[in-house]
């Protein structure tokens, strides 16, 4: 791995702990103005100090994030579909040239293993990895799940392993029973998505279980920005991910922080 690739990866995965808290705010690329992200800039600003990385699209990056920020960016470069259409029919939406111009730390795309369009999305991943290798830019493969796709260790393990085999530098998937098998069978680091909004304590447990079973962190969106207390949530998730904060202490931390005043944009 060359110096540029290692340097970018070290901006995403904190070298001190080998872990990462990615804040995912890319949802608008297929969901439009989803709850909590109607005005992305306002949602993102108070959370940035506690995120290691911001995952978002080119449009929201340019329009809503101060270019003077030092937060490393993982840019979503796949899209072209909406919640009303066939999500698996994504294409690559950003050139490597523009990603480099935006000074990103990494790029991300979704793969749809098991869909009728799996070949197209997997070849798009392989092509992005080729470009990433050429320019020293790590690629995050997001194992997307459709309504018809199971979220079990067998399916997610298949999707993660294929992403790694095609050269993804790290993989985002969902937590599931037997998650340690998914991690063990995937030769590159794994982060988890949070998924749909669930009660805060359940999302904290999800984060705790994921890192306890081998994830290197989270790439979490709705369970942070749709929380009644987004800052308290990301700060507590951060302690779990980087400092292995035990669950009981995490609940107490969230309760204490959630009594502090914070502005909510949900």
Instruction: Give residues in contact with ligand 5RP (CB under 6 A).
Output: 24, 26-27, 55, 110, 142, 144, 193-195, 219-223
CB 10, CB 232: distance < 8 Å: no
Query: CA nearest 104: which of 131, 136, 127, 128?
Result: 136
| Cα dihedral value 142, 193, 178, 246, nearest 10 | 150
Known catalytic membership, residue 205 = no
Nearer to ligand 5RP, 166 or 220 (CB): 220
Q: How far is the CB of 25 from ligand 5RP (least distance, A)?
A: 8
For residue 233, how far is the Cα from the chain centroid?
16
Contacts of 57 (CB under 8 A, 6+ apart): 26, 28, 29, 75, 76, 79, 93
CB 50, CB 21: distance < 8 Å: yes
Q: How far is the CB of 2 from ligand 5RP (least distance, A)?
A: 27
Q: How far is the CB of 172 from ligand 5RP (least distance, A)?
A: 6
Which among 172, 196, 201, 205 is annotated as catalytic? 172
As annotated, the active-site residues are 172
């Amino acid at each position: 791995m060359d110096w540029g690739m290692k340097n970018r990866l070290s901006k995403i995965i904190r070298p001190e702990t080998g872990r990462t808290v990615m804040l995912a705010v890319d949802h608008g690329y297929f969901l439009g103005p989803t709850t909590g992200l109607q005005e992305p800039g306002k949602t993102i600003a108070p959370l940035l100090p506690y995120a290691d990385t911001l995952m978002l699209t080119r449009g929201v990056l340019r329009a809503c994030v101060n270019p003077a920020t030092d937060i490393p960016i993982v840019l979503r470069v796949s899209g072209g579909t909406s919640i009303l259409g066939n999500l698996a029919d994504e294409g690559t939406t950003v050139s490597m040239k523009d990603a480099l111009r935006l000074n990103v730390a990494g790029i991300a795309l979704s793969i749809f293993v098991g869909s009728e369009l799996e070949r197209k999305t997997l070849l798009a991943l392989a092509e992005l990895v080729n470009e990433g290798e050429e320019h020293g830019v790590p690629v995050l493969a997001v194992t997307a799940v459709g309504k018809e796709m199971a979220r079990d260790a067998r399916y997610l393990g298949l999707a993660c392993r294929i992403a790694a085999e095609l050269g993804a530098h790290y993989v985002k998937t969902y937590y599931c029973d037997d998650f340690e098998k998914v991690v063990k069978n995937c030769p590159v680091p794994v982060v988890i998505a949070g998924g749909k909004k669930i009660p805060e304590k359940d999302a904290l447990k999800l984060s705790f279980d994921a890192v306890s079973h081998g994830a290197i962190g989270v790439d979490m969106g709705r369970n942070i920005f749709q929380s009644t207390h987004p800052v308290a949530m990301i700060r507590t998730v951060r302690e779990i991910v980087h400092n292995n904060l035990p669950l009981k202490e995490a609940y107490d931390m969230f309760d204490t922080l959630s009594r502090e005043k914070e502005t909510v944009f949900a």
